[in-house]
Amino acid sequence: SPPAAAEPRHASSAAPRRLRDRLRGAARPAAPPAHTAPGSRPQVRGAEPSSTAPAAARDTQAPSRFDYERFQQSLRHPPRGRRPPEDPETQARRMKVKEMMKFAWDNYKQYALGKNELRPLTKNGHIGNMFGGLRGATVVDALDTLYIMELEEEFQEAKKWVEKSFDLNVNGEASLFEVNIRYIGGLLAAYYLTGEEVFKSKALELGEKLLPAFNTPTGIPRGVINLGRQDTRSPFCPCSGMSWSWGWASAGSSILAEFGTLHLEFLHLSELSGNPVFAEKASTSQLLLNKVEKPQGLYPNFLSPVTGNWVQHHVSIGGLGDSFYEYLIKSWLMSDKKDSEAKRMYDDALEAIEKHLVKKSAGGLTYIAEWRGGILDHKMGHLACFSGGMIALGAEHAAEEKKQHYMDLAAEITNTCHESYARSDTKLGPEAFRFDTGSEAMATRLSERYYILRPEVVESYMYMWRLTHDPKYRQWGWEAVKALEEHCRVEAGFSGIRDVYSTTPTHDNMQQSFFLAETLKYLYLLFCEDDVLALDDWVFNTEAHPLPINHTNFKAKAGVQ
Ligand code: DMJ
């Protein structure tokens, strides 16, 4: 993840006019695990506790002017679709995925409800250190999947836990990125799908707790935030509201895929609260990145939040970079195609990626390499496999002469990612695969052979299916379902495996929350009609939580200026 040149610090009510105009016009309402090093502790201390947060909190407590009914009317399709007749095989496959979701949820509920994730072998819960004392990551991540799959009873169980037990009054160090994509994204999606106020109020309350992370000289947030209640008068609470950079991140830098993956959720926080502070904070990063000089047009993975300069020239469309690119094209789509700056940044970034990173192997497989200060590393991470879907999503909006080209590129990358599955003994793909030392689309290091229930490959199948209707994508998705059943399903849930090249893999004893949020949701949608969470109504955040496209200005329709 990358860097930039210094600019406005952060834009609150004193935001530059240019930014405020842009927010008004375009950006209206409308994560290793991925790349954080598990277990690593933040070490680089950041800004002082914010004095602006209490004001922000007051603002967001103002009555919301968002009109839910008008929002619903603006949708072109009912979120769960109209359920037209379909072929029995597709229906059976969809029901199988629904059964997997119920199994994953039931076991989480039985053995780990209230913890963040289920440990399916030891039948207990896992808390971890990414969420700063927050609990129930699996509950919040699962809400919209349960709703979409019409698992009504299970959805009610999850909602009840949020109402009665989801405590935001915690004090611990959290990943800004993870809290945003999983909790805020999950709560926002649950609100938009159901209109239940509890999801909205929890999302807004949590959003306010993240604001101090933006108090840096550039307005680029640090990666770790203390979620404790701020009390600047108390010498016993010196850490609350403070932020840090990850200890493992280069020289106190912020990570591109972290600070560049806030825009979708933060625009919706502003939409729902009527408080522009969230949109302004997130837009500051975009403005800054737009201005900064980029090596060969590429965005490096590490940026100093103090100087706004790139810290290292490492570029990746996988971990550390990935969702930054995703949020550019999705910001444009979510703005109903008004945020032309995001679109231009996406177009330029993709052009640079294609020019410098896209390669073809001796065996004819297209892949996206990583870039280390100009030297290519011929490796692709599982995380980078989301890019097939992203490029396909952008292709239909590319210049006429490039549409087919980008669609072909998306299909080739998705094919390569499928090969990484097809060439393993389990038919599940490794964490990273390489195109050097004679290997193609296979892991060459023992440490890269694991599969932790990640979604990116089936995510691309879902987009490719929706955008081409080539039946091979449904077929590939079904192969993944069978492999998950055979190798990851255990007595009490689903578990990651340590070696995709072993027919008797050992399990890692972890049912990741993103398995319920993303992997199972994308597989389900692959076997649904296109009007279920239709792509012309919703964009998926990087945790697969659907956020609505701003077809109309809901506030204006509600008669509010
Ligand atoms: C998820 O939390 C998100 O998809 C994130 O963007 C990347 N990593 C995981 C899943 O692999």
Kindly report, residue by residue over 512-528, the tens digit of the pLDDT: 999 999 999 999 999 99
Task: Decide whether any atom of ligand 1 lies within 6 Å of the 34 Cβ.
Answer: yes
Residue 249: pLDDT above 90? no
CA dist., res. 17 & res. 493, Å (int): 52
Query: How do residues 476-500 score in pLDDT, each as one tens digit?
Result: 999 999 999 999 999 999 999 999 9
- Assigned domain for 553 exists: no
CA end-to-end span of the chain: 38
Question: What are the backbone dihedrals phi and psi of residue 118, each rounded to the nearest 5 degrees, phi first?
Answer: -90, 135
- Per the structure block, which two tokens stand in for 5? 């040149």
- Assigned domain for 362 exists: yes
CA dist., res. 86 & res. 474, Å (int): 14
Task: Decide whether any atom of ligand 1 lies within 6 Å of the 186 Cβ.
Answer: no
Residue with tokens 């090249």: 501
Read off the pLDDT of each residue in 89-106 and give the average, rounded to a whole number.
Answer: 98
- Assigned domain for 98 exists: yes
* Domain total in the chain: 1
Residue 16: pLDDT above 90? no
Q: Which residues lie closer than 8 Å to 331 by C-beta, 6 or more apart?
A: 27, 263, 264, 267, 286, 339, 342
> Which domain covers residue 283, as residue numbers?
78-548
- Assigned domain for 37 exists: no
The closest residue, in CA terms, to atom 3 on ligand 1 is: 543
Active site residue 322: yes
Task: Decide whether any atom of ligand 1 lies within 6 Å of the 542 Cβ.
Answer: yes
- Assigned domain for 63 exists: no
Residue 231: pLDDT above 80? no
* Of residues 327, 173, 178, 193, the one with CA closest to residue 264: 327
**Distance of CA 517 from the midpoint of ligand 1 (Å):** 10
Q: Please give the sequence-ordered ranges of beta strands (E in DSSP) within 321-390, or none if there are none.
A: 358-360, 366-368, 370-372, 375-377, 379-381
**Distance of CA 519 from the midpoint of ligand 1 (Å):** 10
User: Which one of the listed residues 117, 208, 456, 459 is annotated catalytic?
Assistant: 456
- Domain CATH for 208: 1.50.10.10
Residue 469: pLDDT above 90? yes
**Distance of CA 324 from the midpoint of ligand 1 (Å):** 12
Task: Decide whether any atom of ligand 1 lies within 6 Å of the 31 Cβ.
Answer: yes
Instruction: Specify the pLDDT at position 8.
Output: 22
The pLDDT mean for the chain works out to: 88
More confident residue, 249 or 550: 550
| HSE (side-chain half, CA atoms, 13 Å) at 31 | 22
CA dist., res. 369 & res. 429, Å (int): 17
Instruction: Specify the pLDDT at position 13.
Output: 30
Q: Please give the sequence-ordered ranges of beta strands (E in DSSP) within 86-166, or none if there are none.
A: 117-119, 124-126
The closest residue, in CA terms, to atom 9 on ligand 1 is: 34
Residue 432 DSSP SS3: strand
User: Which one of the listed residues 431, 499, 508, 537 is annotated catalytic?
Assistant: 431
Instruction: Specify the pLDDT at position 439.
Output: 87
Instruction: Specify the pLDDT at position 296.
Output: 95
Percentage of the chain beyond pLDDT 90 is 80
Active site residue 486: no
Q: Record the pTM.
A: 0.89
The radius of gyration computed from the CA coordinates of the chain, to the nearest angstrom, equals 22
User: Which one of the listed residues 178, 347, 440, 543 is annotated catalytic?
Assistant: 178
Instruction: Specify the pLDDT at position 248.
Output: 81
CA dist., res. 178 & res. 33, Å (int): 8
From 145, 512, 518, the mutation candidate for ligand 1 (largest count of ligand atoms within 8 A of CB) is 518
Residue 47: pLDDT above 50? no
**Is the four-CA dihedral 105, 108, 113, 116 of positive or negative sign?**
negative
**Distance of CA 398 from the midpoint of ligand 1 (Å):** 26
User: Which one of the listed residues 258, 271, 322, 326 is annotated catalytic?
Assistant: 322
> pLDDT-based confidence at 438, cuts 50/70/90?
confident
CA dist., res. 13 & res. 260, Å (int): 22
- Assigned domain for 358 exists: yes
Residue 542 assigned to a binding site: yes
Active site residue 456: yes
Query: What are residue 376's DSSP bridge partners?
Result: 371
CA dist., res. 5 & res. 299, Å (int): 12
The closest residue, in CA terms, to atom 11 on ligand 1 is: 454
